[in-house]
Amino acid sequence: MSTPVGPEPCNVVCPSCRQQVTTRIEPKATTKTHLIALIMCLTCCWPCAGFLYCTKCARNSDHMCPSCNAFIGTYER
């Protein structure tokens, strides 16, 4: 079971190495991100579709332990 986390790095005790850490965030594009980009391309907004992959608004945030690289949780947008 993953730890509840937010969109920004947070202080948690890693369930794997048991250290108090500030999580490292890895943004991940989701199916929702790809669908929105596809719709934008089909409606002639293709120049804007690439920005979805550069911003946080359409990507989930996977939280990882900086010490042992263990997965801690995901914040879904």
**Number of domains the chain is built from:** 1
pLDDT in tens, 18-57: 999 999 999 998 888 888 888 888 888 767 777 777 777 7
| 2 within some domain | no
**Could you tell me if residue 65 is left (phi over 0), alpha (psi between -120 and 50 degrees) or otherwise beta?**
beta
Say how many C-beta atoms besides its own lie within 10 A of residue 77's C-beta. 14
Burial of 55 (C-beta count, 10 Å sphere; 0-12/13-18/19+): exposed
| 68 within some domain | yes
First to last CA, the chain: 19
| 44 within some domain | yes
| 1 within some domain | no
| 33 within some domain | yes
Over residues 62-71, mean pLDDT: 94
pLDDT at 19: 95
φ, ψ for residue 27, nearest 5 deg: -65, 140
74 or 44, higher pLDDT: 74
Question: Domain residues for 42?
Answer: 11-75
| 3 within some domain | no
| 6 within some domain | no
Over residues 57-70, mean pLDDT: 91
